[in-house]
Structure 1
Amino acid sequence: MIIEKLIRKLKGNPDYKWESTYSERDLLSVTKIRFAQVIRGLWLRLFLKKCTGLLFIGSNVKVRHGYQLRAGKNLILEDNVSINALSLNGIVLGDQVSIARDSILFCTGIIAQKGTGIIIGDRTGISARAYFAGQGGITIGNDVIMGPNVQIFSENHNYSNINILIKDQGVTKQAVTIGNNCWIGGGATILSGVNIGDGCIVAAGSVVVKSIPANSIVAGVPARIIKNREEV
């Protein structure tokens, strides 16, 4: 099938195959949507720092400070994605990155404190309603998959002095790193300073407050290691 071959070429994966059958109406509908996204992408790429491939841009996508955003091949931003790249290092999105609808990525909170930035590696898929706060820096590796409603915070409010309003005590910025080939379950929250090693699985709804060694499976609030994948 022509469309399947086209997707195979765009993904750079000669083994890519559809596992289901589609009617001509299904294919026409999908093609129409993707074509409209490519047209929007032609306009958006004029405002980006760098873009090396096709852009598939959904409706109502907002990209602010696009001159600080670098995109690899075949970036997909679904409907209502909001990106603000204002930061020291900007936002870097690798090849074949997809960010699903209603997701928010930003790097600077209050304008007086310029944030660090966000890096997302090749072939990583971000599901719907993700919230990435990159003030202290967020780095996500290659081939990472995420469920919906994942939140990542790289900044915390200071609160130790009970005689000063919390909002007036400033913040502490600490980078978050997620390694390659990780699966972050839906509704998971990852807090500042956390380093998640390669091959980890974070169960849905977990709150990760401490770093996790490679190939760990974690779950809970706060998240605890329940198994190592090498022992499965």
Structure 2
Amino acid sequence: MGQKVCISQGVELLGASAMEIGNNVKILRDTRLEIRDINSFIYLGNRVCLDRGVDIRTAGSDCWIEIGENSYIGPYVCMAGPGNINIGKNCQIASHSGVSANNHRDYGLSREGIKIEDNCWIGSGVRILDGVTIGRGSVIGAGGCCD
């Protein structure tokens, strides 16, 4: 746990021993961070803000979810493994978006992971599915889908 971390009332941290939270992080009300299985990890870089109602879950073993410094995750964003999720520095993900690092393919459930590079802006209601890389400086318009 870093310095000057602000955790609002109603926040749930489940499996907190496998989380690392940087300095000056804000986690607003009704947010849930959950680690479900072994060898999984959640990392929040310095100056990350998780707005109200954000839900971040590792789902499966060996799942890593990392959010880079100065990134903002908007209200009611849902983010889950079992694939790894890496969000770069200075990113903004707007409200009601979903980042799901799994997908049902012809061969079954995939866990390729998701990478959002630095300086990206993801509009409200966007759905990002497994196997996607969003390049540095990209803008994804509201309601878009990346799969």
> What range is the shorter-chain TM-score in?
over 0.9
Q: Which runs of 4+ in 1 moved over 4 A?
A: none
Q: TM-score, normalised by structure 1?
A: 0.60
Cα distance between partner residues in 1 of 2:136 and 2:108: 32
For 1:183, the equivalent position in structure 2 comes to 121
Can you give the 5+ residue segments of structure 2 that lack an aligned partner in the other structure?
A: none
Query: In the comparison of the two structures, how many residue pairs are matched?
Result: 146
Cα distance between partner residues in 2 of 1:81 and 1:75: 13
For 1:145, the equivalent position in structure 2 comes to 92
Q: Contact 1:115 / 1:134 at 8 angstroms: preserved in 2?
A: no
Shift of 1:53: 1.2
| Bigger proportion of residues as helix | 1
Cα distance between partner residues in 2 of 1:86 and 1:69: 12
What is the aligned-residue RMSD (CA, Å)? 1.4
Q: Aligned to 1:149, what secondary structure does the other structure show?
A: coil
Cα distance between partner residues in 1 of 2:118 and 2:36: 26
Q: TM-score, normalised by structure 2?
A: 0.93
Can you give the 5+ residue segments of structure 1 that lack an aligned partner in the other structure?
A: 1-50, 161-168, 210-232
- Deviation string 1:195-229 (CA, Å, 9 cap, x unpaired) is 011000000000011xxxxxxxxxxxxxxxxxxxx
The farther-off stretch of 113-122 and 55-64 is: 113-122
Structure with larger Rg: 1
- Deviation string 1:120-175 (CA, Å, 9 cap, x unpaired) is 000000000000012100000000012101100111234x4xxxxxxxx8522111
- CA separation of 1:115/1:170 partners in 2, compared to 1, >3 Å: closer, same or farther? farther
Q: Contact 1:79 / 1:100 at 8 angstroms: preserved in 2?
A: yes
Shift of 1:115: 4.6
Instruction: Return the structure number with greater relative CO, CA threshold 8 A, min gap 6.
Output: 2
Shift of 1:85: 2.6
Q: Aligned to 1:181, what secondary structure does the other structure show?
A: coil
Cα distance between partner residues in 1 of 2:48 and 2:71: 5
Q: Contact 2:67 / 2:87 at 8 angstroms: preserved in 1?
A: yes
Q: Contact 2:55 / 2:78 at 8 angstroms: preserved in 1?
A: yes
Cα distance between partner residues in 1 of 2:95 and 2:63: 24
- Quick one: which amino acid aligns to residue 5 of structure 2? L
Q: Percent identity?
A: 26
